[in-house]
């Protein structure tokens, strides 16, 4: 079934699928435990548009007959990203952070998430990759654990956030 999927790496300057990618994220992250509504959807559009302008941003998009069924994106982790991560020793400048990853419900457990992630990280030029995952996003936690990523710390969130922290997973890359 994965043979029907085209996975393309897209530079930010060619972010032609922006609307389709955002629509996919709205649909995927409307599910529990995320339960995005209008506010989160709009925030995601703003953040993605701004991140896409930053140096080192990378996006891969998976399409079936021109329909976006998956997307993954990220950027080099800077000091802002590591803020409030404990232990502080987990912070490492030579890290690429996976900031968004979504696979359409009908295309799960076929290896698409794994393939997109490999393509995203392949050649990102960093020694390590990291991702922040909600503590109750069990599917995502198992996905990263089963791909060999390990918990290296927690990112503490503001008291107004619905969650106290995010788990930080990381993996060493061998694509340098
Ligand atoms: C997490 C997500 C991206 C995984 O995508 P996917 O294409 O289904 O993942 P893959 O098929 O490549 O899975 C690779 C391996 O990860 C593990 N895995 C993936 N999803 C899993 C789940 N829900 N429960 C347990 N293990 C899981 C399995 O070991 C799987 O291999 P297997 O199917 O041979 O057992 C997808 O479920 C998704 O979009 N979830 C909602 C959004 C989300 O949580 N994004 C991550 C935010 S940090």
Residue 60 has a pLDDT of 92
- Round to whole Å and give the CA distance between 51 and 63: 22
Kindly list the domain boundaries of the chain, sorted by start residue.
2-172
pTM: 0.94
pLDDT at 15: 59
Distance 137 CA to ligand 1 centre (A): 11
What is the best residue among 73, 139, 167 to mutate for testing ligand 1's pocket, by most ligand atoms within 8 Å of CB? Answer: 139
Distance, CA of 41 to CA of 24 (rounded, Å): 11
Nearest CA, atom 5, ligand 1: 113
Q: What is the percent of the chain with per-residue pLDDT over 70, rounded to a whole number?
A: 94
2-172: CATH architecture:
3-Layer(aba) Sandwich (3.40)
């Amino acid at each position: 079934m994965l043979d029907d999927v085209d996975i393309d790496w897209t530079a930010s300057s060619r972010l032609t699928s922006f609307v389709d990618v955002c629509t996919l994220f709205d649909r995927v992250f409307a599910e529990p435990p995320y339960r995005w509504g209008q506010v989160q959807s709009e925030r995601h559009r703003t953040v993605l548009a701004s991140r896409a302008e930053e140096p080192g941003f990378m996006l891969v998009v998976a399409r079936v007959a021109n329909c976006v069924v998956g997307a993954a994106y990220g950027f080099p982790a800077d000091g802002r990203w590591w803020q409030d991560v404990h232990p502080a020793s987990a912070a490492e400048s030579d890290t690429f952070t996976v900031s968004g990853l979504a696979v359409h419900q009908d295309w799960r457990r076929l290896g698409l998430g794994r393939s997109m992630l490999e393509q995203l990280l392949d050649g990102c030029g960093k020694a390590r990759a990291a991702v922040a995952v909600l503590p109750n996003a069990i599917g995502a936690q198992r996905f990263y654990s089963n791909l060999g990523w390990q918990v290296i710390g927690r990112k503490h969130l503001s008291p107004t956030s619905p969650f106290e922290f995010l788990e930080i997973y990381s993996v060493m890359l061998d694509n340098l």
